[in-house]
Amino acid sequence: MTGAPTAGPSSTGPFGTGLFSTGPTRTERAVNGVLLPGFESAGPNGSAGQDGSAGQVEGIGHDGGGVPGWLADAARAGLAGVVYFARNTPDVATTVALSDALHAISPDLVIAVDEEGGDVSRLEATSGSSLPGAAALGVLPGAAISLDAGRALGRLLAATGIDLLLGPVLDVVSEPDNPVIGVRAFGTTPDDVARHGIAFARGVRSAGVGVCGKHFPGHGATTVDSHIGLPVVDEPLDVVRARDLVPFARALCPEGDAGRPDPDRFRRDQSRLDAVMTAHVLFPAVGPAPASIEPAATRLLRELGHDGPIITDALDMGALRELTGSVGEAAVRAVEAGADLLCLGLDPALYTESYHALRRAVASGRLTVERLEESGARTQALVAVLRGRRAAAGAVTGVDAAKTALAELTVIGASIADAVVHVRGARLVPLAPDAEPDVIDLRTRLDHAAGRKARHVQVAIAAAWPGARLFPEDDAGRSGAGHEADHPADHRAGDEAGDGLEDGSGYGAGSESVELGLDDRGLAVLIARFTRYGVPADLDRADMKRGAEFPAPLVVITREPVPGSAERARLEQLWAVRPDLMVVHTGLPGPVDDWFGALSGGGPAVVVACGTGRANAAAAVERLRRPEGDQPDGVGQGGAGQDGIR
């Protein structure tokens, strides 16, 4: 890309040309009014940092703490908002200072973030989320706890100065092999997703923060990750309406509204969505282009009653790169399709390219200033509502308030995880306090939404059992066999990659779906080591006791052991030689019985973690420690009890 904005003083303008030195024109302000970029936080001198360290967000410079010069220029020239990624939010104090600085530059700026809990977190990206995530909440039969969880998360967002949550995820996971949604969704049925999603949204809004339901019309039936390719859901429209659209329709028109649009939408029931994010998913029954750049998808969403902003998933994701040829062209097509806010990743060149492409589209007559201003008006109406909601909730931005909110979120998150993380399958033989387990991560696909293959389970096990051996080895070079090099995405903006915003690292058309974890040689080494103990293949698993046969217990971590997959093949290989193994499953809870019960002998004991967040991992460790008779009240071998919170 060319023409990347500089990070110099604000007097030079965002492109180093003095563009805004005399004030933005109507067109410039209108173009900025549809852009929602990510950014690298700046150091004290206003220069953009490259490593995202907390030390680069110190003090308040002429543009405010951590705000690069180009972004300050754009904010003064009508920029709609920004998206936080993990490197912007290393701790709550830094986040508060950055939010204060941005709002001081532009009080109407919308600060948005992907903070779903569980597998996708920005505010707790390093430590892992205190909130177990949507799949964990979906295990509970009632939605009261989802309301409480949303309220607790909303308080943290409000206290750190964040205006808009890019959530909840309203996708219905109808495809078990879905590579990008999975445990980020509340469930596999429209009713479950709608019930928990609406309750969660109401909780967030009650704390004074806005919500954006995603990914319309639905990302739950896909087998391709839109961060790296274009998913296609080739099903009749009536199927899409009955399955994928239901959570959105119910969230937009709560019961009692009879589906009738209400012009006074922002006074509606708390379950309303403030914004909706469109997916880079092609639904041929809806239109010929992916929903994010398809006018028919916009019309469908408006017909459901949504008249607030429509936000695209990140335009630099792989699903659009090959189709549109450039981020700039994707930006123009998204506006032509009816989008109001265009999400962009961390690279400032993405903002530059989109900005110039939109200006050229206006100059050529392809777009009009009035069309851009129409979108800007929707965003400004939302800002007014959010400021009023925040005041009504009594929300206060500050370090002390943020620390208090984080502590409260940690408590409720631990309680939820303790209630929903449970054991299925065979009887779980607890790990002794002095055990030195081998821990093998069988997950093979990078989780682009979380930005990495999360290691919170390994970290929690290693903390509980310091002698644990991890395969593949961790980032510090701990034990491993045949460890493959980490995927480059693990070291780039990828910690904050995710769902559009969700993907700030820029997974372009050249990105590939890379398999991670142990390579075949490493797995063969481990299997050879296990089999040399001469365990008979017909060992009676029901009466098996851990003893001299194996020198150490074996824990394997799974996510998608779908029959026919590489992960499944490796699980079967290990199960054949280690019938004492136990599983910590971080993927969807629903298919567990089918996936593991089909293994010979009835399958292993499976700790169903419902995700990979820190809270999930801590609860999973407790299950590995406890005899099955000591499971928490309300949860047994089959799952959670009535809301299960003690």
Residues sharing a CB contact under 8 Å with residue 297, sequence separation 6 or more, in sequence order: 216, 217, 278, 283, 286, 287, 291, 337
Q: Which residue has the tokens 């303790």?
A: 418
Sign of CA dihedral 315, 320, 326, 329: negative
Question: Does the N-terminal peptide bond of residue 215 adopt cis geometry, omega within 30 degrees of 0?
Answer: yes
Do 176 and 604 meet the contact criterion of CB atoms below 8 Å apart?
A: no
> Would you state the structure tokens that stand for residue 182, as one six-digit string?
């999975």
Per-residue pLDDT tens for 489-539? 332 223 333 433 343 333 333 333 334 456 778 888 888 877 765 444 444
Report how far residue 270's alpha carbon sits from residue 201's, in angstroms, rounded to the nearest whole number: 8
Q: What gap in Å lies between CA 620 and CA 117, rounded to an integer?
A: 16
Angle, helices 327-337/369-393, rounded to nearest 10 degrees: 80
* Contacting residues for 601 by C-beta, under 8 A, at least 6 apart: 541, 542, 579
* Token pair in block for residue 10: 């604000």
Q: Give yes or no: 456 in active site.
A: no
Catalytic residue, candidates 313, 316, 441, 503: 313
CA dist 586 and 63 (Å) reads 43
Catalytic pick from 196, 215, 227, 306?
A: 227
pTM reported for the whole predicted model: 0.85
Task: Please state whether 261 falls in left (phi above 0), alpha (psi between -120 and 50) or beta.
Answer: beta
- Burial (Cβ within 10 Å: 0-12, 13-18, ≥19) of residue 446: buried
pLDDT (0 to 100) of residue 186 = 97
Rounded distance, CA 261 to CA 263, Å? 6
295 cis-preceded (ω within 30 degrees of 0): no
Query: Is residue 215 among the annotated active site residues?
Result: no
Bridge partners (DSSP) of residue 518 are: 483
Among residues 204, 218, 337, 339, which one has the least CA distance to residue 272?
A: 204
Q: What are phi and psi of 276, to 5 degrees?
A: -135, 135
CB of 374 closer than 8 Å to CB of 310: no
Query: What integer pLDDT is reported at residue 626 of this predicted model?
Result: 83
**What is the pairing mode between strands 605-608 and 422-425?**
antiparallel
| Regions of the chain where pLDDT drops below 50 | 1-18, 45-64, 256-270, 451-452, 475-516, 534-548, 627, 629-646
- DSSP per-residue string spanning 197-214: HHHHHHHHHHTT-EEEEE
Domains for the chain: give ranges and CATH numbers: 31-408 (3.20.20.300), 411-640 (3.40.50)
Q: Which residues, 6 or more positions from 187, have their beta carbon under 8 angstroms from its beta carbon?
A: 135, 138, 172, 173, 193, 196, 590
SS3 sequence of 482-539:
CECCCCHHHCCHHHHECCEEEECCCCCCCCCCCECCECHHHHHHHHHHHHCCCCCCCC
